[in-house]
Amino acid sequence: MDKVPLNGQNMSTARYPKSIYLILAIEFCERFSFCGLRTMLSLYLRDVLKFSEKDATVVYHVFYAVCYFVPIIGAILADSFFGRYRTIRVFSFVYVLGNVLLCMGAMPTLELPAVKTTVLGLVLIGIGTGGIKPCVAALCGEQFCVPEQRFYLEQFFSVYYFIINIGGFLGMIFIPMIRKSIPCYGADSCYALGFFVPAVLMLIALLLFVMGKPLYTIRCPKKNIILQFLKCM
């Protein structure tokens, strides 16, 4: 006998879309990467780049501000011009590039200007994570067919936030452990490896996202939100 939720929907005929599982895996990788990186950042700025406590704090908070200002721009671009899929794809590429630069800046053998490379990497990471932040949950919502899958849509966001919080929590635990467990470049810990793992995870997330395109329900933007806003003024 089929299970029927409170709204009368037949659960056997309306399951989670396959694309949802892929997007959840991608978000897990992104949160693991970002939170693991963030946990090491202040120590890296002080201990390796020799920033003062004050300067390291300023850089950390500016980085965090960029991460939470850019979502405004990402939302406008997604809603008015490019759609959520293209916006996530482009900003994810920027994100990966920033991770790679941060990792390269932590490798003394490359003889790159470490401070400039690190700052540029952080700027790109801030832009990348900020750009995708307003789009992923909305893209997830678009994968459900309403009203047939309304029951699953109502359940979904609890699962979504559980997954991203687990990803962030595990990143904060394991990335610092990886950094401390393996010495490199004559140091007792390896920041390059600590930044390398988030870079690999973000690259995996980007590849999964691009390869999963045939599974997604992709909606193009219909209205220019900026023009609609200006008309109201």
Task: Indicate whether 8 belongs to any domain.
Answer: no
Average pLDDT value over all residues in the chain: 89
pLDDT at 5 over 60: no
Q: Are 58 and 119 in contact (CB under 8 A)?
A: no
How many CA atoms within 13 Å lie on the side-chain side of 26?
27
For residue 64, being part of any structural domain is answered with yes
Q: What mean pLDDT comes out for the span 55-65?
A: 96
Does 3 have pLDDT greater than 70? no
Q: Which residue has the higher pLDDT, 206 or 225?
A: 206
pLDDT tops 70 at residue 225: no
- What pLDDT does residue 6 have? 40
Q: What is the CATH number of the domain that holds 108?
A: 1.20.1250.20
Inside any domain, residue 80:
yes
Mean pLDDT for 205-217 is: 93
Q: Number of folded domains in the chain? A: 1
Share of the chain above pLDDT 70, in %: 90
Does residue 1 belong to any structural domain of this protein?
no
At 63, is the secondary structure helix, strand, or coil? Answer: helix
Does residue 169 form part of some domain?
yes
The DSSP code sequence of 108-128 is GGG---HHHHHHHHHHHHHHH
pLDDT band at residue 10 using 50, 70 and 90 as cut-offs: very low
Please give the model's pTM, rounded to 2 decimal places.
0.88
- 128 domain residue, yes or no: yes
Task: Evaluate whether residue 9 is within a structural domain.
Answer: no
* pLDDT interval class at 18 (50, 70, 90): confident
DSSP the chain: -----TT---GGG----HHHHHHHHHHHHHHHHHHHHHHHHHHIIIIIS---HHHHHHHHHHHHHHHHHHHHHHHHHIIIIIHHHHHHHHHHHHHHHHHHHHHHHT-GGG---HHHHHHHHHHHHHHHHHHHHHHHHHHHHHTS-TTTTHHHHHHHHHHHHHHHHHHHHHHHHHHHHHHHHS-BTTBSS-HHHHHHHHHHHHHHHHHHHHHTGGGS------S-HHHHHHHH-
pLDDT at 231 over 90: no
Residue 195 has pLDDT above 90, yes or no: yes
Beta bridge partners of 184: 187
Model pLDDT for residues 148-193, shown as the tens digit of each residue: 788 888 888 899 999 999 999 999 999 999 999 988 888 888 999 9
Per the structure, the complete domain to which residue 188 belongs is given by 15-232
Range scoring the smallest mean pLDDT among 22-36, 147-161, 216-230 = 216-230
Q: How confident is the model at residue 73 (pLDDT cuts 50, 70, 90)?
A: very high
Specify the pLDDT at position 32. 96
Which tokens hold the place of 147?
A: 């009203």
Average pLDDT, stretch 91-95? Answer: 97
Which residue, among 209, 229, 231, has the nearest Cα to 76 in the 3D structure?
A: 229
- pLDDT above 70 (res 86): yes
Tell whether 7 is covered by a domain.
no
The pLDDT assigned to 41 comes to 95
